[in-house]
Chains A and B, each alone.
Chain A
Amino acid sequence: MFSSFMTNAWLSGTVIALLVGAVGFFVVLRGSAFAAHAIPNGAFAGAAGANLVGINPLFGLVAFALAAAFGIGTSSRRTRSDVSTALALVAMLALGAAFLATSTEYEPAVNALLFGEILGVSSSEIVPVLALAVLCGVGLIYLFRPLLYSSLSPELSRARGLNITRIETLFLIIVALASALAVPVVGALLTFSLTIGPPAAARLLSSRPGRALALSMLLSLLTLWVAIASSYAFNLPIGFFVGTLSAALYLFVRGWVVLRTRRSIAQSA
């Protein structure tokens, strides 16, 4: 499990989990779950397209994730955002399906793209992946206060002179980059699970933003580590473990919080 060929899996997994945990915290806070679900599917089309024309998949992933983010960002300003997000999502998936149909891609590769592959980041890609992750991290630190502020009270922050549209656009770019990095490992359909499961659980555990953010990154890291280890041990797709573990974690924490509140109410009564 810790042999040399797995070094990449652990290293990329750790970086991706920390990044997605941090991004997911803001996704949950801002209620942009649907957009965060659609963007990885854009990345899927990009990877399928890159395979078709034979360029580095990372280019396709980043380009299409960014395109999806811009598409959602601009169209949601004009029309109802859930409708335009839904249409952007299916358009990207359909494009990916068409790319796959025209290429001679065999099934395991398709499944890896959709449902994840622990060895999804090759040793030649680890440097660009790390660089992009650091870029996203710096972006999040730079945006931390305005993001938090505009998520909690858009009206107040507008009154304080913050440019909400610009913040939203920058945030969607960060979501897009983080998705592009996570898709090869976690899978296009499951990246979203990691983006909202652990952060939603973290938010239930603490209402203080700093602590919730740290918890979110920690829970995301734990989820992905356990998923990588189980995927290796049972030889099953990592997406299965990411999806079910994230959901189980959220439901467990929710149950525990409900129980704790009930007990404290009973004690005070």
Chain B
Amino acid sequence: MHWLLEPGLFTNDSVRTAFLLGAMVSLVSAVVGVFTVLRAQSFAGHALTDVAMAGGAGASLAGVAPLLGFLGGGVLGAGAMDAIGVLRVKGRDIATGVVLGAATGLAALFLFLVASSSAATGSTQLILFGSVFTVEASTLPYVAGLSALVLTALVFIRRPLLLSSLSSELAAVRGVRLRWVGGAFMIMLAVSVGLSSIVIGSILSTALLIGPPASALKMSSHVTKAVSIAVGLGIAATWLGIVFAYDSYYWLPAHRGLPVSFFVVFVVVIEFSFANLAYRFHARRVAPTTSARVNVEPVGGR
């Protein structure tokens, strides 16, 4: 095992923090992500990562903790997208894109100002691509608290949320307040994106949000099962990513470690490719009709 687990992996404090942090963040992202994929809101989820990026960049300019910026930016962005109509299917890509573009522009400004006003380098890479090994252990309780909050809220609204994700008409008939449910979900999405930003960076948090849930929904159309598979795949990707990144310091002759986020995304993409292959193989063997597909494709998907 020496080739996989380089010396000092489990005795290193920042690595231990990274493992804990990675597990919590993957858990929240996977659960929220299953609903995001079911609601066909991948683009909205991705746009929130760009807004979180602007928040993180603003925080590092103002000298406060990046987590605060990621969260604040994400929640504000969710509000803005809700206000200009992301929840309506028609034209929502444009509304999403406009918010995303404005936020990215602001991030450009903030990061430029940070780079030109302070001697600290690497803030662009830190905000965009994350650096879980630099997160201090004192951040852990906040991440745990926020994760618990999002998961509890999600358990609370899971029924109306699931119903409105599968058929908004049916949900409306059953008395679900679509606007409230949609808005509440956007806020959960924003918090989850903010949390994963500190692990794999703001613009890459889409990977943990979409990858494991999309793979899981290929493997099971049963929502509870899909959620547990997604959690497993997400935690596996994050932990493997952390191990590889730690080891990569010894791989390259120049001793420059590769970013954790690169390996996490790498594992996530491999998981999705396998899930996709298995799904197609299975679908061809079991169901010549399209009935197996119907469960996976959400109503109102693009």
Is there contact, CB below 8 Å, between B302 and A82?
A: yes
Once A94-B266, A102-B258, A111-B124 are accepted as A-B contacts, the answer to whether A193 and B112 lie under 8 Å apart by CB is no
Is there contact, CB below 8 Å, between A243 and B102?
A: yes
Is there contact, CB below 8 Å, between A78 and B276?
A: yes
Judged by a CB distance under 8 angstroms, whether A93 is at the interface is yes
Is there contact, CB below 8 Å, between B112 and A94?
A: no
**What's the least CB distance linking A231 to chain B, in Å?**
10
Question: Which residues of the partner chain B approach A242 to less than 8 Å between Cβ atoms?
Answer: 101, 105
Q: How far is the CA of A246 from the CA of B108 in the complex (A)?
A: 14
A-side interface size class: 35 or more
Is there contact, CB below 8 Å, between B106 and A33?
A: no
Is there contact, CB below 8 Å, between B214 and A83?
A: yes
Q: How far is the CA of A87 from the CA of B46 in the complex (A)?
A: 10
Q: How far is the CA of A239 from the CA of B105 in the complex (A)?
A: 6
Judged by a CB distance under 8 angstroms, whether A148 is at the interface is no
> Given A33, A83, A114, A247, which contacts B124 in the complex, CB threshold below 8 Å?
A114
Q: How far is the CA of A224 from the CA of B77 in the complex (A)?
A: 25
Once A33-B97, A90-B206, A243-B108 are accepted as A-B contacts, the answer to whether A98 and B262 lie under 8 Å apart by CB is yes
**What's the least CB distance linking B287 to chain A, in Å?**
16
Once A83-B210, A192-B101, A196-B98 are accepted as A-B contacts, the answer to whether A115 and B112 lie under 8 Å apart by CB is yes
Q: How far is the CA of A189 from the CA of B109 in the complex (A)?
A: 13
Question: Which residues of the partner chain A approach B124 to less than 8 Å between Cβ atoms?
Answer: 107, 110-111, 114
Is there contact, CB below 8 Å, between A33 and B93?
A: yes
Chain A's closest residue to B272 (CB) is A87
- The dominant DSSP class at the A interface is helix
Judged by a CB distance under 8 angstroms, whether B233 is at the interface is no
> Given A83, A111, A189, A248, which contacts B112 in the complex, CB threshold below 8 Å?
A111
**What's the least CB distance linking A71 to chain B, in Å?**
11
Question: Which residues of the partner chain A approach B252 to less than 8 Å between Cβ atoms?
Answer: 102
Number of interface residues of B (CB under 8 A): 61
Once A83-B210, A86-B43, A87-B207 are accepted as A-B contacts, the answer to whether A97 and B269 lie under 8 Å apart by CB is no
Is there contact, CB below 8 Å, between B259 and A239?
A: no
Judged by a CB distance under 8 angstroms, whether A72 is at the interface is no
Judged by a CB distance under 8 angstroms, whether B42 is at the interface is yes
Interface residues in B240-295 by Cβ distance below 8 A to A read 252, 254, 256-259, 261-262, 264-266, 268-269, 272, 276, 280
Judged by a CB distance under 8 angstroms, whether A120 is at the interface is no
Cβ contacts A233-254/B at 8 Å (1 or 0 each): 0001101111110111011000
**What's the least CB distance linking B203 to chain A, in Å?**
6
Is there contact, CB below 8 Å, between A93 and B109?
A: no
Once A81-B302, A83-B42 are accepted as A-B contacts, the answer to whether A94 and B261 lie under 8 Å apart by CB is yes
Is there contact, CB below 8 Å, between B207 and A33?
A: no
Judged by a CB distance under 8 angstroms, whether B122 is at the interface is yes
Is there contact, CB below 8 Å, between A83 and B37?
A: yes
Is there contact, CB below 8 Å, between A90 and B207?
A: yes
Q: How far is the CA of A24 from the CA of B104 in the complex (A)?
A: 18
Q: What are 18 pairs between A and B in contact, CB < 8 Å?
A: A86-B42, A86-B43, A86-B210, A87-B210, A89-B206, A90-B204, A91-B207, A94-B129, A98-B258, A101-B256, A110-B125, A115-B112, A187-B108, A189-B107, A189-B108, A192-B100, A243-B106, A247-B98
Residues of chain A having any CB pair with chain B under 8 Å: 28, 31, 33-34, 37, 78-83, 85-87, 89-91, 93-95, 97-98, 100-102, 106-108, 110-111, 114-116, 187, 189-190, 192-193, 196-197, 200, 236-237, 239-244, 246-248, 250-251
What 10 pairs between A and B have smallest CB-CB spacing?
Answer: A243-B105, A193-B101, A247-B102, A115-B108, A94-B265, A239-B108, A240-B109, A98-B262, A33-B93, A90-B207
